[in-house]
Amino acid sequence: MSNKKKKKLTPIQQEYQDFAKAREPKRKVLRNCCRAFVVGGFICTIGQGLQWVFINYFDFTEKTAGDPATAVLIIIAILLTGFGVYDHIAQWAGGGTIIPITGFANTMASAAIEHRSEGYVLGVGGNMFKLSGSVIVYGVFSAFVIALIKITIKWLGGM
């Protein structure tokens, strides 16, 4: 809480804030960062392994092997979400499971599972993108801005 807000509190409210802060568990930031790094790196390593398999066993090129590897990661994340395993991994690893594509798949699958009792159209279809819709919007907008910057730099370089 900021100092400005503390000044507006009554003495009893301030005493309670101090009491609550003293009993609040301390966050283990270094441990949480290490867990997130290890799990996020492991997920990306699995993705690289899948890409290697598609290149060496299915005659994909380095450019085209990324798409099926991503699709397999998404399917694995959806299955783990459906079986309730992904939530336990995410609870332990924290942010390490959010960043890769698997976190996005988990978000969509968990929203769909949560609202399946409301029907496929209004429940699953209507609520699947509630959590992940903002990711899609900001992802598309960011890609648009980056494309404009790239086009502008290319145009200025050609002059």
Q: Say how many domains are in the chain.
A: 2
Indicate whether 50 and 121 sit together in one domain.
yes
pLDDT of res. 124:
81
Q: pLDDT tens, position by position, for the chain (159 residues)?
A: 555 555 688 899 999 999 999 999 888 999 999 999 999 999 999 999 999 999 999 999 999 999 999 999 999 999 999 999 999 999 999 888 987 789 888 888 888 888 888 888 878 887 777 777 777 888 899 999 999 999 999 999 877
Cβ atoms of residues 97 and 77 within 8 Å: no
- Tell me, yes or no, if the pTM score tops 0.85: no
- Residue-number span of the structural domain to which 147 is assigned: 133-159
pLDDT of res. 3:
57
Indicate whether 78 and 34 sit together in one domain.
yes
pLDDT of res. 107:
85
Indicate whether 123 and 156 sit together in one domain.
no
Cβ atoms of residues 41 and 100 within 8 Å: no
pLDDT of res. 4:
57
Task: Please give the backbone phi and psi of residue 54, each rounded to the nearest 5 degrees, phi first.
Answer: -65, -35
Indicate whether 107 and 149 sit together in one domain.
no
Indicate whether 101 and 119 sit together in one domain.
yes
Indicate whether 121 and 140 sit together in one domain.
no
